[in-house]
Homo-oligomer: A and B are copies of this chain.
Amino acid sequence: MATHKLLLLPGDGIGPEVMGEVKRLIDWLNAAGIAKFETDTGLVGGSAYDAHKVSISEGDMAKAKDADAVIFGAVGGPKWDTVPYEVRPEAGLLRLRKDLALFANLRPAMCYPALADASSLKREAVEGLDIMIVRELTGGVYFGEPKTITDLGNGQKRAIDTQVYDTYEIERIGRVAFELARKRKNKVTSMEKRNVMKSGVLWNEVMTAVHKREYPDVTLEHQLADSGGMMLVKWPKQFDVIVTDNLFGDMLSDIAAMLTGSLGMLPSASLGEIDVKSKKRKALYEPVHGSAPDIAGQGLANPIAMISSFGMALRYSFDMGDLADKVDAAIAAVLASGLRTADIKSEGTTAASTTQMGEAILKEL
């Protein structure tokens, strides 16, 4: 059995607590002889700042590059609101994405049937919802230069951010979306603002070309990002795979996640290109939710998104799709049994702490 190297980066807030439940799962998989994971742990975000005055240390970056997959908790919190911009908690996450070249961010937005009523949308609009948002993650306005604030004198400053996209960046994220669609409902919706942005014009042009050349069997639709956002709110089930740029993806995937009513449950995967020689790809897995500093350290956090993110690691990094299916089924079964952490409790359900939820899922497995 191959040994897989994992780097665990719990981060801040509820990060360490939810990561604890993944650790429990990993230990069990190792002990039961189902898989062989070697784990190391590092600091990122505010916790790295407190220890080393950086958002992630060079040592931990090296470990991340060396690992087969990084499992990431969450970063940030009011405690670090005033640290210098360059070392703010988020910078650690952005550096991981950029330096590991994790250009493809996969964010499934699905609605757990047991939680459909938690959505602010009507049940019929979200029940059975299962869409996949594919967000470009290493380009666009997140990383483009210049990115500056200049003092113009006279009390005036000028801030500049730059959105840059090259053809190859759009092509490769397009391919990820089309490949995923083939295994799903075979439909891709590309979203941009071609009526205002030159990057939208190029995005549209390249998606159309990749589709025509390499994936004519998949249905491709184009939507302006603003009306796409409206359609998402009105009737999310019309979508299968949505592919969009870094900033639109940030907004649209968060909104889609909230629509499901299952926000605390949703995982994500950030993937690099497959290396032709080793056939491996760099990858980072993290829950869609944030660090929730207000409930940290109280055993209140919901570990499902984190466990489900580890499930995505099994699927996308270690070719253990069957085991990933079992993890997903265990989560669904525990929810169906009525166990709930505080964020998703409702009448007639049984309260569970972070640990109790993690243990129940493991037991189900």
Contact = CB atoms under 8 A, between A and B. Distances in A.
Interface of A: 76, 85, 88, 90, 94, 120-122, 125, 141-142, 144, 147-149, 152, 155-168, 193, 195-199, 201-203, 225-227, 229-230, 233-235, 247-248, 250-251, 254-255, 257-259, 263, 290
A197 B233 contact: no
Contact of A160 (B164, B230, B257, B290): B164
B196 A94 contact: yes
Contacts of A195: 76, 88, 90
Nearest to A257: B230
B120 A159 contact: no
25 contacts: A90-B196, A120-B121, A120-B233, A120-B234, A144-B160, A147-B197, A149-B201, A149-B202, A152-B167, A156-B168, A159-B163, A159-B197, A160-B163, A160-B198, A161-B163, A161-B197, A161-B198, A162-B163, A196-B250, A226-B250, A229-B254, A230-B255, A230-B258, A247-B247, A248-B251
Contact of A254 (B76, B88, B227): B227
Q: Which 9 A-B pairs have the closest CB atoms?
A: A159-B202, A159-B199, A230-B258, A161-B163, A226-B254, A90-B195, A159-B198, A156-B167, A161-B197
A235 B164 contact: no
- Give the copy number: 2
Contact of A198 (B147, B230, B255): B147
A117 to B, nearest CB: 9
Contacts of A227: 254, 290
Most buried by B among A152, A195, A198: A198
A193 B148 CA distance: 14
Contacts of A229: 251, 254-255, 258
A141 B162 CA distance: 9
Contact of A142 (B157, B196, B203, B234): B196
Given A226-B254, A254-B226, A159 B233 contact: no
Contacts of A162: 160-163
Given A121-B122, A230-B254, A254-B229, A199 B88 contact: no
A156 B161 contact: no
A141 B167 contact: no
Contacts of A233: 120, 233, 255, 258-259
Contacts of A259: 233
Nearest to A164: B160
A267 to B, nearest CB: 17
A159 B122 contact: no
Given A163-B160, A202-B159, A120 B235 contact: yes
Given A120-B121, A159-B198, A160-B199, 19 more contacts: A120-B234, A120-B235, A141-B196, A149-B202, A152-B167, A159-B163, A159-B197, A159-B201, A161-B163, A161-B199, A162-B162, A162-B163, A226-B254, A229-B258, A230-B254, A230-B258, A230-B263, A248-B251, A251-B251
